[in-house]
Amino acid sequence: MKFSFSLLLLLFSTASFSQVTFKWLGTSGFILSDQTTTLMFDPAMTHVPIYDFLPFMTVESDKPEVDFWMNKCGLKSLQATFVNHAHTDHVIDAPYVVKKFGGKLYGSSSVLNVGLGQGLTNLQVQKIKHGDSWKIGDFIIRPFRTPHAPHVLDIMLMDGHIEKPLPTPTSPWNYLVGETHSFLITHPKGSILFQAIGKIHDIDTLKGLKADVLLLTIANRKSSEDLIQNRVNPSQAKLIIPLHHDNFFIPMKRENGIDELWGIKASEFQEKLSLHAKQIKSSWPQYCQAISLF
C-alpha cells in the first residue's frame, strides 16, 4: 500500500508539469515554454548591418522578419519578455513582440525606455534589478547583475543609460547599454542559468550557482578555458547550449545553417569543452529548433 502511494506521488510529480522546451532565436535570444507559460529572452531577429552604424543611418524592428521567425517557432502568445541589456542585438524587437504576443517587458530602466518609446504603456513594462525574484506561471526568474565587458581593449561602445523613452527609427548608437543582467530560471522540472555576458566580471555574481542547463554567451569571452573553469564546470550543468556565436550583422539564414560571428571560434570552444568538460552534453541548435531541457 505504502509502495503504491509513493508510486502515485511519483507519477503525479512527473505528470503534473509539462516538459520545458528551448528554442533559439539567434544571438542570445530564446524562447522557454512549459506549454502553459512561454517566456522570451533578448528578442533581436532584426539584424543591424555595420553600415547602419554610419552617421545619419537609423534602425527599427523589422516586423516582417520578426513575424517570419515567430511563425517558424510556432509562437502563439507570451507571458513575459526579459531583456538582458539595451544594445540593439538584445532589445530591438522586444517592444514589437510584447505588443503582438502579450505579457510584460522586463529589464533595466534603459530597456524599459526602448519599450516606452515604441508605445508600450507603464502597465506593460517592469523594471528589474539584481536580487529580484519574479514568478511567472511555474517559472521563477532571478536577475543577477553581470556588467557588460568592453568591446575592444578598454572601449565600451554605446555605454551609459537611456534616460527617456526612445522612439524609433533612431541611430543604433542611441541604444545605450544600461544595467546588464544574467538570469537564474527555476521550474519544478529543473533549473537554467543564462549567462548573458561572455566575459566573467571580477565581481562574479553567478559564482557558486548550479543549474541543470547552462545557456552560455560565448561572444567576447576572455578564453574558452576561463568560461569552462569558472562557469561550465562549477555550474554542474548536464547540458550546455552556447549562445551569441552567430553573426548578428547579417540576416539570419532561413534554411538550416548558421553564419558564424567573425572571430568567435565556436569549434575551438567545442573542442575545449570536449577536453575539459567531458561530462557535460553540449547542443548547438538551429534557429527555432525545439530542444527538450527537462
Q: Which residues bind Zn ion (CB under 5 A)?
A: 87
Contacts of 39 (CB under 8 A, 6+ apart): 31, 32, 33, 78, 79, 80, 81, 82, 136, 139, 141, 185
The contacts of residue 33 (CB under 8 Å, 6+ apart) are: 20, 21, 23, 39
What SS3 class is residue 41?
Answer: strand
* Minimum distance of Zn ion from residue 171's CB (angstroms): 16
For Zn ion, the closer CB: 52 or 138? 52
Strands 80-82 and 30-33: unpaired
Calpha distance 149→269 (Å, rounded): 19
Q: In angstroms, give the least distance from the CB of 74 to Zn ion.
A: 28
Cβ 92 to Zn ion shortest distance, Å:
12
Q: Which is nearer to Zn ion, 87 or 142 (CB)?
A: 87
CB closer to Zn ion, 87 vs 187: 87
In angstroms, the CA 228 to CA 243 distance is 14
Residue 87 vs 221, nearer CB to Zn ion: 87
Report the residue number whose CB is nearest to Zn ion. Answer: 87
Beta pairing, strands 104-107 & 125-127: parallel
Residue 107 β-bridge partners: 127
User: 44 vs 293, which CB is nearer to Zn ion?
Assistant: 44
Instruction: Please state the closest distance from residue 148 (CB atom) to Zn ion, in A.
Output: 5
Consecutive H or E run containing 90: helix 88-91
Shortest spacing between CB 71 and Zn ion, in angstroms: 27
